[in-house]
Amino acid sequence: MKVIVTPKAAVLDPQGAAVRDAMQHLGMPEVRSVRIGKYLEIDVDGDEAEVEPRLRELCRDLLSNPVIEDYELQKVEEERG
Amino acid sequence: MKFAVIQFPGSNCDQDCRAALNGIRGAEAEFVWHKETSLDGYDAIVLPGGFSYGDYLRCGAIARFSPIMQAVVKDAVAGKLVIGVCNGFQILCEAELLPGALVRNRSLRFVCDMVTTRVEVDHSPFTAGLQKGTLLRLPVAHGEGCFFADEATLGELNVNRQVILRYVDASGVATPAANPNGSIEHIAGICNRERNVFGLMPHPDRACEQRLGSNDGAKIFESMMRSIAGDQARAA
């Protein structure tokens, strides 16, 4: 499974802004914005369907902070299919 | 009066907190390891600064699930005074004992400096005896101290007078230059709605002796002691 955590739109992302500035400076003035988040690869034992609801809970309670971040849980199989 | 100073793996201001408190007449501070499950017998709880769990994932995100945190939450709900300094503030936000969150400093730089903060309320257990407008000189040392809350939360914080400290300049004015980390509305410290849980990024523990540049931090701990003594007298 993959979890992608991104800063909410309302939250300042100074890191993203610094990278955007660098990209513009390096010849890509088209870059309008960059937001930097986190990407987690998670291997689990057992049935994914059974694990998913609990993993989703942990996405909310541990892997992201809902005050400042959104998360997206992706199943690797779906992508391959 | 007994203070519990919680030690998480990666706490590094636990010694400062204990030394500062033990230097205050009438205060006695002890360490409590994060694997403990009870805080019975303590009058107040201190979550010290540092880098609990190496700040992995997010600052305070993992410490918030340490066994001791259940006791912290239970005692906080029961009304015990809880103060979180720096990483302790981050843990209190992650534990949802305080609203909002602390994110990367707007400058992207770790800031290590002496700042001036202004007491924003007339009454709080953490500023008892300090008039609104009192200036406190306190050191900061953090990379993720930019306070963020959405507009609705910010509105509630202001309406309920939960903002206890704001960053100001030496004359007491909240200017952008006086804000060390880009915190929304210059917020340096907030309390919960019930007013018994307080989190702040500056370190009162590092400002309890004049030879360290300021003893204004002691005023916060002394305020807590005054409030606890008042509560105990009323209960007796």
Q: Kindly state whether B111 is in contact with chain A, defined as any CB-CB distance less than 8 angstroms.
A: no
Residues of A in contact with B157 (CB under 8 A): none
Domain at A8, CATH number: 3.30.1280.10
CA dist B172 and B26 (Å) reads 31
CA dist B130 and B123 (Å) reads 8
Question: Å from B65 to nearest chain A CA?
Answer: 9
Note the pLDDT of residue B183.
98
- Which domain does A11 fall in, by range? 2-80
Average pLDDT along chain B: 97
Note the pLDDT of residue B25.
95
Average pLDDT over residues A60-66: 97
ipTM value:
0.87
Q: Kindly state whether A9 is in contact with chain B, defined as any CB-CB distance less than 8 angstroms.
A: no
Strand-by-strand arrangement of the A69-74 sheet = A38-41, A2-7, A69-74
* pLDDT over 90 (residue B129): no
Q: What is the share, in percent, of chain B residues with pLDDT greater than 90?
A: 97
Q: Kindly state whether B182 is in contact with chain A, defined as any CB-CB distance less than 8 angstroms.
A: yes
Superfamily for the B2-235 domain? Class I glutamine amidotransferase (GATase) domain (3.40.50.880)
CB B72, CB B6: distance < 8 Å: yes
* pLDDT over 90 (residue A75): no
* pLDDT over 80 (residue A59): yes
CB B97, CB A68: distance < 8 Å: no
Q: Which of A12, A65, A67 sits opposite B106 (nearest CB)?
A: A12
3-state SS class at B91 = helix
Average pLDDT over residues B30-52: 98
Average pLDDT over residues B155-161: 98
Q: Kindly state whether A35 is in contact with chain B, defined as any CB-CB distance less than 8 angstroms.
A: no
Q: Which residue of A has its CA nearest to B99?
A: A67
- Name the more confident of A17 and B129: A17
Average pLDDT along chain A: 92
Question: Å from A64 to nearest chain B CA?
Answer: 8
How far, rounded to the nearest angstrom, does the alpha carbon of residue B138 sit from its chain's CA centroid? Answer: 12
Residues of A in contact with B182 (CB under 8 A): 12, 14
Q: Kindly state whether B236 is in contact with chain A, defined as any CB-CB distance less than 8 angstroms.
A: no
Note the pLDDT of residue A49.
87
Note the pLDDT of residue A77.
66
* pLDDT over 50 (residue A81): no
Average pLDDT over residues A45-63: 93
Residues of B in contact with A15 (CB under 8 A): 104, 108
- Number of residue pairs across A and B with CB atoms under 8 Å? 37
* pLDDT over 80 (residue A80): no
Q: Kindly state whether A18 is in contact with chain B, defined as any CB-CB distance less than 8 angstroms.
A: yes
Residue-range domain boundaries for chain B: 2-235
CB–CB of B148 and A12 under 8 A? yes
B15: its two tokens: 């010694």
Structural domain tally of chain A? 1
Average pLDDT over residues B12-34: 97
Q: Which of A10, A18, A62 sits opposite B150 (nearest CB)?
A: A10
Note the pLDDT of residue A58.
97
CA dist A16 and B88 (Å) reads 27
A79: its two tokens: 């992508």
Q: Which residue of B has its CA nearest to A37?
A: B57
* DSSP symbol at B29: E
Vertex B105, ends B131 and B18: CA angle to 5°? 55
pLDDT digits (tens, 9 = 90+) for B165-203: 999 999 999 999 999 999 999 999 999 999 999 999 999
